[in-house]
């Protein structure tokens, strides 16, 4: 049975001081609570040590927003999966649309990052999703298929238990606009069918597929109630302990 994963993507927000405060609020709220869901925060690199420190003793995990797919060496400005692990992270977002757009990350490069994370026991969260014009022209499924298959082609079925996908329609990110529950469910089911084609139905049934794009307490319940929506990758609403916790509570209450 799939668990929900409620993941906060802090993006370039909450430096060491603010990040520590936000983590301390989450820690005060959740303490030693035993979750039915998986909970994760992905702060900027510099805030990770303080956040990991504050969250020790809770079940909330920490992850990164990006990494470079080599062990070490002359890659100025980059961070490797071994460093991520040493810092206490167990998840890594890969291929977020902001990285695809502002840093020209290609499907091939993203595939390397996902593979490297899996090889080093870090759970990657692969982000896929179409832009507004691609949805308007009816190409949304084709875009997502290409983004997903570019990565799946480099993986094998054994990776299924640690591989997470986030469907994030670009037009819904940070815009306040959300995919309707029906649009989300349709794409999530499609993503699961693509994984099933590459691997097996059983393997694909275990992959957590998150929805991202203006998820907030007001719309979380209807999105998370969809059969193939297994959680959320949450930007804006994860920057306040209150709203992030409300979404966690909704997922907890929907969990069997």
Provide the minimum distance between the beta carbon of 70 and ligand PGA in the complex, in angstroms, as a whole number.
25
- Under the rule (CB under 6 A), what is the footprint of ligand PGA? 9, 168, 173-174, 212-215, 233-237
Provide the minimum distance between the beta carbon of 144 and ligand PGA in the complex, in angstroms, as a whole number.
16
Of 54, 67, 96, 130, which one is the catalytic site residue?
A: 96
Closer residue to ligand PGA in complex, CB, 150/170: 170
Query: Is 140 an active-site residue?
Result: no
C-beta of residue 250 within 8 angstroms of C-beta of residue 224: yes
Cα-Cα-Cα-Cα torsion 217, 219, 221, 227, nearest 10 degrees, comes to -140
Q: With residue 167 as reference, give the H or E element that holds it.
A: strand 164-167
**In whole angstroms, what is the distance from residue 127 CA to residue 144 CA?**
10
Provide the minimum distance between the beta carbon of 64 and ligand PGA in the complex, in angstroms, as a whole number.
13
Closer residue to ligand PGA in complex, CB, 199/208: 208
Using DSSP's 3-state secondary structure scheme, residue 18 falls into helix
Of 54, 130, 168, 188, which one is the catalytic site residue?
A: 168
**In whole angstroms, what is the distance from residue 201 CA to residue 222 CA?**
25
The secondary structure of residue 120, as a DSSP letter, is: T
C-beta of residue 111 within 8 angstroms of C-beta of residue 146: no
Q: CA distances (Å), 68 to each of 71, 99, 131, 138, in order? A: 8, 12, 25, 33
The secondary structure of residue 36, as a DSSP letter, is: S
Q: Could you count the other beta carbons within 10 Å of the beta carbon of residue 52? A: 18
Handedness of CA 108, 114, 116, 119 (dihedral sign): negative
Query: Is 96 an active-site residue?
Result: yes
Give catalytic residues, as residue numbers: 96, 168
């Amino acid at each position: 049975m799939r668990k929900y994963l409620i993941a906060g993507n802090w993006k370039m927000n909450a430096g060491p001081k603010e990040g520590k405060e936000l983590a301390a609020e989450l820690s005060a709220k959740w303490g030693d609570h035993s979750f039915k869901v998986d909970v994760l925060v992905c702060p900027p690199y510099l805030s990770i040590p303080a956040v990991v420190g504050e969250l020790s003793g809770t079940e909330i995990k920490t992850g990164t927003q990006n990494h470079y797919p080599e062990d070490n060496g002359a890659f100025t400005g980059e961070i490797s999966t071994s460093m991520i692990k040493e810092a206490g992270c167990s998840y890594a977002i890969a291929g977020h649309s902001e990285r695809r757009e502002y840093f020209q990350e290609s499907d091939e490069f993203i595939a390397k990052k996902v593979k490297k994370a899996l090889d080093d026991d870090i759970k990657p969260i692969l982000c896929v999703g179409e832009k507004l014009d691609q949805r308007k022209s009816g190409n949304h499924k084709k875009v997502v298929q290409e983004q997903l298959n570019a990565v799946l082609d480099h993986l094998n079925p054994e990776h299924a238990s640690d591989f997470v996908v986030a469907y994030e329609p670009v037009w819904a990110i940070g815009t306040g606009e959300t995919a309707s529950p029906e649009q989300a469910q349709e794409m999530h089911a499609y993503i699961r069918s693509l994984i099933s084609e590459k691997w097996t139905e059983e393997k694909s049934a275990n992959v957590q597929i998150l929805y991202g794009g203006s998820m907030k307490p007001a719309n979380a319940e209807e999105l998370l109630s969809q059969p193939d929506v297994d959680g959320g990758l949450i930007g804006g609403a994860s920057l306040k302990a209150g709203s992030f916790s409300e979404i966690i509570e909704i997922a907890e209450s929907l969990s069997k």
